[in-house]
Amino acid sequence: MTYFREIVLSLWVLSQTTAAYSRALTPLQNAAKAFILPLKASEPSDNPASRAKIELGKQLFFDPRLSKDGTVSCNSCHNVMASGSDNRAVSVGINGQRGGRSAPTVFNAAFLSVQFWDGRAATLEDQAKGPLVNPIEMGMPSHDAVVARLREIDGYSDQFQKVFGGKDPVTIDNLAKAVAVYERTLITPNSAFDRWARGDGGALSASAQRGFSKMNEIGCTSCHSGGGFSGPALPTGTGFYQKFPTFAENDYVKKYDFLGDEGRKNVTKNEADAHMFRVPTLRNVAMTAPYFHNGSVGSLQEAIRVMAKTQLNKNLTTDEVNDIYNLLVSLTGTIPEQTMPKLSQTLGTTVTPQ
């Protein structure tokens, strides 16, 4: 009975604490509720998660043998042991080739309604197929070549059979499904901002609170809204885009070569889409320098000044920049613990060209 009373007392204390937080919420905290990061991403009906599928996807994510010369994996550009990106201005693929854009973080990508800077992939499953056959990135000549490579690696056929079943389970679609299921586990909850928005008044510094207020005041959150600070929740495949730069008559645009990439126009060939980009998440943004689609800005403080001028035509004071900086740092969540997977081996031979 004593143990039972202790449990009841603990639950009562928790309920009273929660109620006290609710009563004590400031108007700014109430506004912040709309920005709380969900704890779990939704999954498509045709690709439900399972422990075995997540493990297979993780192995594929880390396996460099899925690249032409065996040197580049998904993790090479989206390092889940660190920031979910590679912290380079532009990523490096096979043969040391450099791409034209900075790699977005894979953390919380599951909450985006489209993938890539230009939104050319509707889902994580679609996105997983692209880099494999990009000649600059992983460089495989075709998806059929990727499947053939997989079938040469002892152990993968058995794993695909156990996860997907069927007569011929080793397919490019099943590879993409496995990788996407793993990526949907890469959620970073419990940031200082989230704790504050849920009612913990001491979780966020006064400076960060001023930063959130300033972002609302000047219009940053008209684009960087929702749980990912990346725009409203939209149907899968419907991107949330913004022209960048919106105001081009300033020194930043030329200095950082912001007009060198036409963004979504490269996909649609529509002049109206020139310099339109998917609004990126601000979650964990303090970890993902350098910034912007071309990785041209090295510091977060400078990125704040650039955004204010190029998107809102505003010049911020040093104090305002520092407050917004502290707010953005507060969006750093708990990185899910990662362990290196054990990859299936080929005995007495190699699958990569010599």
My answer on whether 196 and 178 are in the same domain is no
Which residues constitute the domain of residue 284? 27-39+188-329
My answer on whether 315 and 234 are in the same domain is yes
pLDDT of residue 19: 46
My answer on whether 58 and 147 are in the same domain is yes
Q: Which two tokens stand for residue 255?
A: 């200095």
My answer on whether 201 and 322 are in the same domain is yes
My answer on whether 111 and 167 are in the same domain is yes
Residue 257 lies in a domain: yes
Residue 248 lies in a domain: yes
In the predicted structure, residue 10 carries a pLDDT above the cut 80 = no
Q: Which two tokens stand for residue 262?
A: 């036409």
Which one is catalytic: 6, 43, 55, 137?
Answer: 137
Of 118, 142, 110, which is closest to residue 129 (Cα–Cα)?
142
pLDDT of residue 347: 86
- Total domain count for the chain? 2
My answer on whether 201 and 107 are in the same domain is no
Sequence-ordered list of residues with C-beta below 8 angstroms from that of 242, at least 6 positions apart, any chain: 223, 276, 277, 279, 311
Q: How do 241-243 and 276-278 pair as beta strands?
A: antiparallel
Residue 3 lies in a domain: no
pLDDT of residue 154: 86
Residue 293 lies in a domain: yes
My answer on whether 178 and 193 are in the same domain is no
Q: Is 137 a catalytic residue?
A: yes
Distances (CA, A) of 162 to 14, 27, 49, 50, 166: 43, 52, 14, 11, 9
pTM above 0.85, yes or no: yes
Q: Which two tokens stand for residue 73?
A: 């994996």
Of 170, 244, 179, 210, which is closest to residue 326 (Cα–Cα)?
210
| pLDDT tens per residue, range 305-349 | 999 999 999 999 999 999 999 999 999 999 999 999 999 888 888
| pLDDT tens per residue, range 58-84 | 999 999 999 999 999 999 999 999 999
Of 113, 105, 106, which is closest to residue 42 (Cα–Cα)?
113
Q: What's the CA gap between 230 and 206, in Å, rounded?
A: 24
In the listed set 167, 183, 199, which residue is the last one of a domain according to the structure?
A: 183
Residue 337 lies in a domain: no
